[in-house]
Amino acid sequence: MLFARHAYYNDRLEFCMSSTTKSLIKSTMILGAAGVIVKIIGALFRIVLTNLITFEGMSYYQQAFPVYSALLIISTVGLPIAISRLVSERVTVNDYKGAYAVFRTARAFLLIVGLITSILMFAFAGQIAALQQLPDAKYSLMALAPALFFVSVMCAYRGYFQGLQNMKPTALSQIVEQLVKVGMGLALAYLLLKWTGRLEFGAMGALLGITISEITALFYVMGAFGKEKRRMTAGMVAAYKGKLSFEDAKPLLKKILVIALPVTVAGLVMPIITFVDSVIIPRSLFNLGYDTQTVRSMYGALTGGVLTLINLAAIVSQALQMSVVPAISEALKLGDKDRVRANVLHGIKFAFLEGIPVTAAFFVFAYPLLHFLYPTASQEEMALSTGLLMTMCSVAVFLPFMQTMTGILQGIGKQNLPPISLAVGAGTKVALSLYLMTFPQINIYGAVIGTVVCYIIAACMNYYFVRKYTGVRMNFGEHLLKPIIATAVMAAAAYLVYSLIAPYSNTVGVIACVLVGLVVYFIMLILVKAVTEREMEQIRGGKKLARILKRMHVWK
């Protein structure tokens, strides 16, 4: 009965599933697939880089990102969402001239923002590094600063394509970006480390590779934009011609900023907190009596090792957030409440389908995964990293859920609410981290516990707002119990496989348990009916699999 409670409502939404949900699932899958590829490439990059410059060297590498991320949020979070939303609204009513005007206005603004932020980061690199207790990290900050300009301009193009619900240029540009980053980053890191023998210059080389990769990705999306214009009909091309005056651009910029600013503020909260972490964690550890090398290793283990895995939890939810905004915005524009409700329910569902098994994997297989990724780490670093990952693993549920709820709130025009949720969570995190890190027996774990509490608070508050303004509620059996049952069976099967193989090879054991876990989880999702026939049919190759499952009487 518990699993059947949602059946009646699901049947009522079948019409919506055939249109809006299909588009949402397709968009999510494109960005999600790109996200998986990007994260895998990124993980491989970090594995090799960490083994090249060690956890201590990764502390220099990681110290550049809190500032970079905070400045990058200005152009990469709120503005692309605003662009995609406004473009989507105009294209829905065939206003191609208006859609292009939104893009041109945003591109000009982002060019200015990118230039200013790049100059600021480069000019104040020395002062920022000194504040972070790692003066030599200034080279990392200087190497990464130019990337801000190129990423900012690129975000205008990505937001435009997402507004058209054409996710391929964004997805492919992300893959191109990662491939160039790996090739150039590792090559420059190796060469600079070899020539100088200094870890900070090895980190600088890796970050120069990121700057080069952003330049390459920008050229790629510009080329994709040119191809898009060449494929347009004569009437659409005519709509894209003509000059855009400053007077015409001003009201558009105002509309863009009204949507973007709350989202940007929400996005700024965590990078600012990460920057605060980059200051208070080293200082707190120094106050507890740890030496400089140990502090660098501990900070590198957390930011370069554990957080790399935690960020994997956000792959699909980030794609879902980007896809759900224009989809819900379009449904609202057309006044279709059923389509809005359908997208909200599927957003919640997909967030838990991803987050719950990842959390279990991080808790059960913390040491094997970390040892697989960072085989050159010392036993002390591995023991610390394992404890940190097990403590932080629940973030893999609450982070995707929070991001998905944020996307829904943005889509229904309540983009001012997620910043409130995140600010409350972040404020609690800072206070709790500062307090807990005064205890020697807790040390760096205090920062991790603070982060977990932050995401729990923000996720719960966002869900409250979604319930309040959409009337949609989670169903315990549909959204939580089914994934939990599937995850429990998956974890048991994966653990059995790993325990049989691990005595001979940890590497083979990890690979085998991941593959077995994925297969078992997918099978269990079908058996407990967490994935419906219609949802399966939206996946490439899913129709054929759905027919096979129907012959097996899994679906009637």
Q: Flag whether pLDDT at 10 surpasses 60.
A: no
d(CA 395, CA 311): 9
d(CA 452, CA 395): 6
Segment holding 169, helix H or strand E: helix 168-196
Q: For the residues 443-468, what does the mean pLDDT come to?
A: 93
d(CA 129, CA 107): 31
pLDDT at 516: 95
Give the Å distances, CA to CA, from 254 to 79, 91, 201, 247: 12, 19, 43, 12
pLDDT > 70 in the chain, percent: 81
Q: For the residues 352-381, what does the mean pLDDT come to?
A: 88
Contacts of 373 (CB under 8 A, 6+ apart): 43, 46, 47, 50, 305, 308, 309
DSSP type of residue 95: -
Q: Flag whether pLDDT at 12 surpasses 60.
A: no
pLDDT in tens, 202-252: 999 999 999 999 999 999 999 988 887 776 555 555 555 656 666 677 888
Given the structure tokens 């229904």, which residue do they identify? 412
Q: For the residues 26-46, what does the mean pLDDT come to?
A: 69
Q: For the residues 156-178, what does the mean pLDDT come to?
A: 85
Output the six-digit token pair for 65: 């990102």
* Alpha helices (runs of H) in 393-476, residue ranges in sequence order: 395-411, 417-436, 445-470
Q: Using 50, 70 and 90 to split pLDDT, how confident is the model at 167? A: confident
pLDDT at 476: 82
By the 10 Å C-beta count (0-12 exposed, 13-18 middle, 19+ buried), 477 is classed as middle
d(CA 374, CA 395): 21
Q: Are 512 and 489 in contact (CB under 8 A)?
A: no
Higher pLDDT, 371 or 96: 371
pLDDT at 347: 78
pLDDT at 16: 44
| Domains of the chain, residue spans | 7-474, 476-556
pLDDT at 318: 63
DSSP type of residue 244: -
pLDDT at 517: 93
| Cα-Cα end-to-end distance for the chain | 17
SS3 513: helix
Q: Flag whether pLDDT at 310 surpasses 70.
A: yes
Give the Å distances, CA to CA, from 240 to 72, 103, 165, 225, 230: 29, 11, 18, 12, 11
pLDDT at 139: 92
pLDDT at 2: 32
pLDDT in tens, 76-87: 777 888 888 888
d(CA 339, CA 348): 14
Output the six-digit token pair for 102: 């939104």
Q: Using 50, 70 and 90 to split pLDDT, how confident is the model at 161? A: confident
d(CA 278, CA 61): 12
pLDDT at 546: 67
d(CA 457, CA 466): 14
Q: Flag whether pLDDT at 320 surpasses 60.
A: no
Output the six-digit token pair for 465: 């707002």
d(CA 244, CA 248): 6
pLDDT in tens, 388-408: 999 999 998 998 888 888 888
Output the six-digit token pair for 332: 């609202």
Torsions phi, psi for 37 (to 5 deg) = -60, -45
SS3 394: coil
Q: Shortest CA distance to 106 belongs to which of 127, 128, 129, 85?
A: 85
Q: Flag whether pLDDT at 25 surpasses 70.
A: no
SS3 4: coil
Segment holding 507, helix H or strand E: helix 506-527
pTM of the model: 0.72
How big is the chain, counted in residues?
556
Q: For the residues 64-77, what does the mean pLDDT come to?
A: 82
What's the Rg (C-alpha) of the chain? 24
Q: Using 50, 70 and 90 to split pLDDT, how confident is the model at 424? A: very high
Side chain identity, residue 524: M
Q: Using 50, 70 and 90 to split pLDDT, how confident is the model at 195? A: very high
d(CA 140, CA 202): 9
Q: Lowest mean pLDDT of 47-56, 269-278, 373-382, 515-524, name the range.
A: 269-278
Contacts of 241 (CB under 8 A, 6+ apart): none
Given the structure tokens 């297969």, which residue do they identify? 519
Q: Flag whether pLDDT at 27 surpasses 70.
A: no
Q: Are 398 and 455 in contact (CB under 8 A)?
A: yes
pLDDT at 18: 45
pLDDT in tens, 269-287: 777 777 888 888 888 998 8
d(CA 325, CA 216): 27
Q: Are 51 and 351 in contact (CB under 8 A)?
A: no
Q: Lowest mean pLDDT of 362-366, 388-392, 478-482, name the range.
A: 478-482
Query: Most distant CA pair in the chain: distance in Å?
Result: 71
Segment holding 40, helix H or strand E: helix 22-63
Q: Lowest mean pLDDT of 136-145, 241-250, 317-326, 488-497, name the range.
A: 317-326
Torsions phi, psi for 437 (to 5 deg) = -75, 0
